[in-house]
Structure 1
């Protein structure tokens, strides 16, 4: 199935890209979520308009991403959670909680979809997360999970 992406999809492409995916993935996930539209011959005009807007935005976004990286990289962000006597958490720290903590600490809005955690954070202490601010800009942030 051929689709035109309207938003960034990790591992697939960015807005305006024409991609070939399996029918089920396109029909059951990408199109209903609004991140892609079906490709048609008339859709080529849509692709060109999306790519034009994307290229003009890319330069501006790259500069902003570099500024945000300078603010958040190297920072240690505290995340307060409930934990037992042994320091084991009740559940895991979610990327939404991490995004909220980074946003609160830096003043810059960070989307939870841009945060990559290598392993589930289930213990107190220091952990590392990666934030993808732009396709070319990655920031590493240290989080410190503390007992609430």
Structure 2
């Protein structure tokens, strides 16, 4: 069953992608929740027209994301967290803290676009993956220090 996604869905696809899913998942979850519509021939034509009109806008967004990615090269963040004597921090550093640290440096990045390769639960160095655009992804190193 083919579905046209109306919004980004993690591990499935981005908005306006045509994805193939199992019929039960499409009929019972994606369509009723408003996450997608059936990919009929008329819906595909409407999608093609909308994509054609939005292409110029997407180029501008991509260029802005590339500019931010260039400015992020060489940036290293330092995030403070309360830690025990063994170096294990209380809780974990989350994407909100990384987004706030980036905001202090002048970069406006949505916290939902940030992921980690490994959960930062100890004092040390980690890497945050920033998905600025569908085609623009940046890795920003950050260090968790004990406060």
Report the TM-score when normalising by structure 2: 0.80
Structure 1 residues 17 and 146, CA gap change in structure 2 (3 angstroms) = same
Question: Matched residues in 2 for 1:96 and 1:121: separation?
Answer: 13
Q: What is the DSSP-based 3-state SS (H/G/I as helix, E as strand, rest coil) of the residue aligned with 1:113? A: helix
Q: CA deviation at 1:67?
A: 0.9
Q: Show structure 1 runs of 5+ residues with no match.
A: none
Normalising by structure 1, report the TM-score: 0.80
- Aligned-pair distance for 1:2? 2.7
Is the contact between residue 15 and residue 50 of structure 1 (CA under 8 Å) also seen in structure 2?
A: no
Verify the 8 A CA contact 1:15 1:51 in the aligned structure 2. no
Instruction: Name the structure 2 match of 1:18.
Output: 18
Compute the displacement of 1:123 (Å).
Answer: 0.8
5 Å-filtered alignment, 1:22-33, equals 22-27=22-27, 30-31=30-31
Shift of 1:118: 1.0
> Which residue number in structure 2 is paired with residue 145 of structure 1?
144
RMSD across aligned positions (CA): 2.5
1:90-129 mapped onto 2 (5 Å cutoff) = 90-105=90-105, 107-129=106-128
Do the aligned residues in 1 keep the contact of 2:76 with 2:140 (CA within 8 Å)? yes
Kindly report which structure 2 residues correspond to 1:49-64, keeping only aligned pairs within 5 A, or say none.
49-64=49-64
